[in-house]
Amino acid sequence: MDSSFRFLLERRVNSGPWQGRRVLVTGARGFIASRLCQRLIAEGAEVCGLSTKAIAPQGGMSWRQIDLTDRAAVTTLIRDVRPEVLFHLAGHVSGSQNVEHVGPTVDQNLISTINILTTAVETVRCRVVLAGSMQEPSPDDPNGVLCSPYAASKWACNAYARMFHGLYQLPVSIARPFMVYGPGQWDSTKLLPYVVTSFMNGDAPRVSSGDRALDWVYVDDVVEGFLTVASSEFVDARTIDLGTGALVSIREIIARIRHIIGTQIDAGFGAIPDRPFERPHAARVEETNRLIGWTATTSLDDGLRATVEWHREQLAGQGARR
């Protein structure tokens, strides 16, 4: 367990809204989900994590290996675990617009979500929190273009969630994180890990024009948002935005990272093309605060410094093991 989680376990509580509650987290090895699991453990929850790979019990939680596209397996799992709350963060996560991603996003995002929602209705009727996507068109932009297979699959998942609430009264909500970053994001195909590790290795990262503006939100703030959505009584069938409400360009983010690292190397802007149809939009923070009382609290500079420091520790550890 990395040092950024230790403070959570050191302040483990003996009472509170999550103490002793059975919680199921899909995609539990992922960036946001793994952080969410650690927070739930620190709050005293009984956490079961799902993964497509076999994992021995570790970190104060149990693990199950399952294919969420297998309806019978999902039914058996939920009947066995009987969760009170289910956070569904598993899926095929890629912003690529290539047609090869259509099939995987349908199977791993839409079909898995339908299996979970159906089984929840037919068995334990637990509270379900789905992970939305900033790539979906906002409710105030109903004619917005679905800019990727991933965006289309998430849009469809959320339509089914609203149907399951309306027709079958399933307590389900959608937490919609924007551009999440922070310690623990190990996937080097993602923008910030790629840029940070490139600079630290003395390389110039090859990126797009850098003009795209995004709503950058720190991972621990997002985890708090997921927990708050799950604990809120009046947000069923709603999509709750988790962001800061501020747009910052990729070019500006990279400039800040260069400053924190202290490198003179610059990024290779324009080395890869910008993706079409990706329009900038920020989280509806006023609505989120009004509905659940949540606001992101980590400043961009503080979050980037923590992110850079985590990657520095990881690279130092790799060097020590060689």
Q: In the structure encoding, which two tokens stand for residue 7, read together?
A: 């403070």
Residue 178 has a pLDDT of 96
Residue 3 has a pLDDT of 46
Give residues with Cβ within 8 angstroms of 148, minimum separation 6.
Answer: 94, 95, 96, 97, 101, 135, 275
Residue 104 has a pLDDT of 73
The pTM score is: 0.90
The label of the residue with tokens 């679905």 reads: 146
Residue 8 has a pLDDT of 43
Instruction: Please calculate the CA angle 234-135-192 and round it to the nearest 5 degrees.
Output: 110
Give the pLDDT confidence of 93-107 residue by residue, as tens digits. 766 677 877 777 888
As a whole number of angstroms, the distance between CA 148 and CA 102 comes to: 9
Widest CA span in the chain: 59
Residue 4 has a pLDDT of 46
> Which residue segments constitute the domains of the chain, with CATH numbers given?
17-177 (3.40.50.720)
As a whole number of angstroms, the distance between CA 243 and CA 135 comes to: 13
Residue 191 has a pLDDT of 94
Residue 252 has a pLDDT of 98
| Ranges of residues in the chain whose predicted pLDDT is under 70 | 1-15, 54, 56-58, 92, 94-96, 138-145, 277, 319-322
